[in-house]
Amino acid sequence: MADVRGKNNYKIVLLGEGRVGKTSLVLRYVNNTFSDKQQTTIQASFLSKRINIGENTCNLAIWDTAGQERFHALGPIYYRDADGALLVYDTTDTESFAKVKNWVKELRKMVGQEIVLCIAGNKIDLDKERQVEKSEAEEYAASVGAYHFQTSAKLGKGIEETFLALAKKMIEQRQENDSRQSARRSGGNAPILVVADDTSNGGSGAASGSKACNC
């Protein structure tokens, strides 16, 4: 994916049960539009957005997937080289939240810790019908090291924040990985450099330091 996987390009994949509002979230974020006459998504689609974070401009390649179980097997095609995943559930539907938990398990198992996870509880405009409590979802998200946001694609609430947080974390993660890799390449002299790099990134120096020592 020469064009999409460049230096400042980040890939985000949206996962979640059918009808939770994945497509609507992306369309609101990228085009600032909303329609309650959105068709079922049958295949994955792709939209991109350029954002500025501090001095960096980065391109987000956002992959929207189909939610139904039948297409579950296609998941790996989309998430395998993703930098971040946005897992969406419907706050008025407990089952969709359970599905998010399954996705988290699968992603951690298949892709590991390097993918940035963000969980979004969508449809907060339907607060009267709420079934998933905010505190419960937040607690869960924290336990798996994911961000949690509440959104409404209909009202345009919480979406900028969600993608911004995801983007920031992906940039951080990539810098960390890059420094780790260069540390590996530069062999025995590396550890000193790595420690310096990692402190500036705010933590996890021990982890990458020890990896660098191993090589």
Partner 1 sequence: MEDWRVDIAAAIGRGTTDAQACHPLRCAPTLVKQRAMYGIPDVFRGIVWQKLSGADAMRQSHPSRYAQYCRMSASADGRIKRDLARTMPRNEFFSERGRGGQVLLFNVAHAYAAYDDEVGYSQGMNFLCAILLLHMRQEHAFWVLVCQLVTIMNHLACQLAVELFKLDRLILSCTPSLHQHFAEQGFDVTTFTSEWLLTLFAYSFPLNFTYRVWDVFFIKGFTYILQVAIAIIRQFEGDLLALSFEEIVFLLRDIPSRLHREPKLADAVSLLFLLLLP
The residues that touch partner 1, with contacts defined as CB under 8 A, are: 1-5, 18-19, 37-40, 42-46, 48, 66, 68, 70-71, 77
Q: Do 47 and 30 contact (CB within 8 A), yes or no? A: yes
Which residue, 7 or 37, is less far from partner 1 as judged by CB?
37
Query: At which residue do the structure tokens 């994911």 appear?
Result: 146
Q: Distance (Å, rounded) from C-alpha 158 to C-alpha 153?
A: 8
Query: Least distance (Å) from partner 1 to the CB of residue 103?
Result: 18
- Of 76 and 203, which has the nearer Cβ to partner 1? 76
When the beta carbons of 22 and 180 are compared against partner 1, the nearer one is 22
Closest approach, Cβ 151 to partner 1, in A, equals 19
Nearer to partner 1, 89 or 149 (CB): 89
Q: Looking at beta carbons only, is 37 or 128 nearer to partner 1?
A: 37
Nearest-angstrom CA–CA distance, 37 and 32: 15
**23's torsion region: left (phi>0), alpha (psi -120 to 50) or beta?**
alpha
State the minimum distance, in angstroms, from the CB of residue 181 to partner 1.
Answer: 22
- SS3 of 24-90: the string is HHHHHHHHCCCCCCCCCCCCCEEEEEEEEECCEEEEEEEEECCCCHHHHHHHHHHHCCCCEEEEEEE
**55 neighbors 66 (Cβ within 8 angstroms):** no
- Residue with Cβ nearer partner 1 (28 or 148): 28
* DSSP assigned state of 91: T
- Minimum Å gap between C-beta 1 and partner 1 is 4
Angle, vertex CA 87, rays to CA 6 and CA 29, nearest 5? 65
State the nearest-atom distance from the C-beta of 145 to partner 1, in Å: 29
Closest distance to partner 1 from the beta carbon of 197 (Å): 30
